[in-house]
Amino acid sequence: QVQLVESGGGLVQPGGSLRLACTTSGITFDWYTLTWYRQVPGEEREQVASIGRDGTSTSYLNSVKGRFVISRDNAKETVYLQMNSLKPEDTAVYLCRARFGAGDYWGQGTQVTVSS
C-alpha cells in the first residue's frame, strides 16, 4: 500500500521558517519525481516546487523562489520543503505528490498558517 505522509506544518509568524517533510512508503522512491503543492479553500491547487529523480533538477513557483528549497533523501524516502521568510500569503495546506509512469500518489496535506 502506497502512503505519503506530510509533517512539519504549523503556525508561524511572518518572516519565520518551517521545514515540511513528506515520508513515503510502498513505492520505489528513487524512481519518482516529487512535487509540493499548496491548496487554499476556494482556489486552485498550486504547484510550489518539484525535484527530479536525481535530486539536482528543481523548479519553483515564482513567488517562492529564493525563499523555499526542495530537497530529497532517497535513503529516508523523504522529500523536504524548507520554507524561509514566510509571508501570510503562504498560508495553505501543503501536499506532496509522487509521480512515475502510471504511478501518481498524493499525501493528505499539512496546514501551514503564517500569521502574527
pLDDT tens profile 54-65: 888 999 999 999
Q: What is the pLDDT of residue 74?
A: 94
Res 54: pLDDT: 87
Q: What is the pLDDT of residue 44?
A: 95
Q: How far apart are CA 74 and CA 34, in angstroms?
A: 11
Dist CA 81 CA 99 (whole Å): 17
Q: What percentage of the chain exceeds 90 in pLDDT? A: 97
Look at phi and psi of residue 107 and say left if phi exceeds 0, alpha if psi is from -120 to 50, else beta: beta
Query: Residue 29 in 3-state DSSP?
Result: helix
Q: What is the pLDDT of residues 14-50, one digit of tens each?
A: 999 999 999 999 999 999 999 999 999 999 999 999 9
